[in-house]
Amino acid sequence: MDIAEIYDKFDQIGCLTFATIDKDTPQTRIAHLFAHDHEGLYFRTMITKPFYEQLKQAGKVSICGMFPKTSVSHDEQGMPYFAPGYTIRATGDAKEISLEQLKEKAAANQMFMLGVKDIERYPAMTTFCLHSAWGEVYDFDFEMAHRSHKLLRTGFCFGGKYIPFRGVRITEECIACGECLEKCSFKAIYQQGERYIIDHAKCDVCGDCYTICPAGAIEIVMDDPKK
């Protein structure tokens, strides 16, 4: 996915959750993206807000949202039901953009004009660019109404970041009993000869295979995204 496609996914949602670090405490608020270009994704805040202070101090932000519905309904058994849709998140480094830079961008791309007008109307407003990030789209159809598996993950990265692997995988300890394949309700495990393999694009990391494996052959992997 390129930056324009990532932006479109976020833009379809509109209001997004933005997380920052306030010294050692996470903080969230609702905001939105207003533009994108080859350098990244753009959003605004005011220099008087804690959001601004946290962005300046840590230079980090994580953004997420859900489409098309965020409400949860329940079936006859009281279990949660989610209409098919997607969640998307992006985590990375953000830098402040000056009004002059924003005007330059607006001269070439009308999308940035909104930011210029807003700053002219509210002088304490400023712009940030998420310029280096990784993330994923988690496309879900839990009832499998439109396909044979519940989810499809699409990872993305830009600005020098890579997509870390964070999930479960089957190791050499596997004794090929097939219990994980039976158990996986996400249809994320397949067999190739004697080997059992997890398709990470379809895996929810729900842990069902991990807890049922009699050989302890499934490992949890948490790649460090900072590497």
Burial of 148 (0-12, 13-18, 19+ CB in 10 A): exposed
The stretch among 23-31, 132-140, 157-165, 177-185 that binds ligand SF4 (CB under 6 A) is: 177-185
Q: What letter does residue 8 receive in the DSSP assignment? A: H
C-alpha to C-alpha distances, 40 to 97, 130, 131, 134, nearest whole angstrom: 11, 5, 4, 11
What 3-state DSSP class applies to 173?
coil
198 lies in the site for ligand SF4, by CB under 6 A = yes
176 lies in the site for ligand SF4, by CB under 6 A = yes
C-alpha to C-alpha distances, 174 to 142, 192, 194, 208, nearest whole angstrom: 28, 13, 10, 16
Q: How far is the CB of 54 from ligand SF4 (least distance, A)?
A: 33
Q: How far is the CB of 11 from ligand SF4 (least distance, A)?
A: 29
Q: How far is the CB of 92 from ligand SF4 (least distance, A)?
A: 26
178 lies in the site for ligand SF4, by CB under 6 A = yes
213 lies in the site for ligand SF4, by CB under 6 A = yes
Helix (H) or strand (E) holding 104: helix 99-108
Please answer whether residues 64 and 87 qualify as being in contact, where contact means their C-beta atoms are separated by less than 8 angstroms.
yes
Please report, as residue ranges, which positions from 115 to 174 form the binding site for ligand SF4 (by CB under 6 A). 168, 170, 174
The stretch among 6-14, 83-91, 120-128, 215-223 that binds ligand SF4 (CB under 6 A) is: 215-223
Q: Which residues bind ligand SF4 (CB under 6 A)?
A: 168, 170, 174-180, 183-184, 186, 188-189, 196, 198, 203-209, 213, 215, 217-218
